[in-house]
Amino acid sequence: MRPNIVSEASVSTRLNQWWEGIPFVTSAVVAVCATIYLICLFIGYDSFAEICFLPSTVLSQFQVYRIYTSVLFHGSFLHVFFNMLALVPLGSELERIMGSVRLLYTMLLLALSNAGLHLLIAILVAYNPIYPYPDPMIQCSIGFSGILFSMIVMETNLSGVQSRSVFGLFNVPTKWYPWILLVVFQLLMTNVSLLGHLCGILSGFAYTYGLFNILIPGTNFFSGIENSSWLSTCVRRPKFILCTGGNPSGYIPTHTSPNTTSSGPPTTDLWNRLSSLMPQRDVSSQ
């Protein structure tokens, strides 16, 4: 009698299955950050002062591009590795709830709000009349961790659990989880941006409490983007999640409440006008 033979998938197969299970925008951010790091490594680029978020330069020279370049660049392999390792579960869960386009919009909004808060706090600390402390104005910050802290706040708000484990060592109340992580990272790691992480937490709470609702369009706006011809190739990919195809049980605040009809026609018309100005191309169906 022939013995039963159980074949196991190879490491490459498992990695491929794991990668294919990561939604579109989350995997795209991972790929972009990893690619940027590898390019910097191969060409020897380390002039991070040119692309980091530097409050003094943003304020004096209005280099607003630093708001987004600073989140895509990382200073070391461990920096990008652990940030992307944290992004995969956080981004995947939120993307399945919100949809791919909405998550991308949210990331851009969080990067902007983090930078705004960072700049505001740095100015207040540096120029306060009681005890001026100029260091925050000249600190150079890079990395995706500010947005990650915002996403941690959003995810804990959605989880519904009463406590969270900190690295499997001890449990803390869910509402304190982001703050405990802030303190732990600050104590255990060097060259960590306390202000960048703090602003990420504040932005996350502002989002979950609905303070950004006026800046977040309704579902019809995102549907208009998804239905545009220039995005059709991405939308057809299995990893892409439509904004109407998420998990309705995990509602995240948006400009409209989940029980009311979205004020969609104005935003949809606006998107249609914008898309009409873009070059159109014929896309064959697969």
Q: CA 66, CA 268: separation in Å to the nearest integer?
A: 30
- How high is the pLDDT of residue 191? 84
Chain-centre distance for alpha carbon 59: 24
Q: Which of 145, 150, 193, 203 is catalytic?
A: 145
- How high is the pLDDT of residue 3? 57
Q: CA 2, CA 13: separation in Å to the nearest integer?
A: 27
- Within 10 angstroms of residue 5's Cβ, the number of other Cβ atoms is 5
- How high is the pLDDT of residue 228? 86
Q: Which of 92, 150, 197, 223 is catalytic?
A: 197
> What's the token pair of residue 119?
């700049």
Examine the residue annotation and report whether 262 is marked as an active-site residue of this protein: no
Examine the residue annotation and report whether 145 is marked as an active-site residue of this protein: yes
DSSP designation for 137: G
Of 70, 94, 80, the C-alpha closest to 31 is 80
Residues 6+ apart with CB under 8 A from 185: 192, 197
DSSP designation for 216: S
In a structure prediction context, what are the per-residue pLDDT tens digits for the chain, which is 286 residues long?
Answer: 555 554 556 788 888 888 889 999 999 999 999 999 999 999 999 899 999 999 999 999 999 999 999 999 999 999 999 999 999 999 999 999 999 999 999 999 999 999 999 999 999 999 998 998 999 999 999 999 999 999 999 999 887 778 888 877 888 888 899 999 999 999 888 888 999 999 999 999 999 999 999 999 988 888 888 888 888 888 888 889 988 655 444 445 443 333 433 334 444 444 444 344 334 334 444 4
Question: Are the CB atoms for 75 and 143 separated by under 8 Å?
Answer: yes
- How high is the pLDDT of residue 278? 39
- Within 10 angstroms of residue 85's Cβ, the number of other Cβ atoms is 10
Helix (H, G, I), strand (E, B) or coil at 66: helix
- How high is the pLDDT of residue 4? 56
- How high is the pLDDT of residue 74? 95
- How high is the pLDDT of residue 2? 57
To which residue do tokens 């732990």 refer? 184
Q: What is the dihedral of CA 55, 58, 60, 62, to 10 degrees?
A: -160
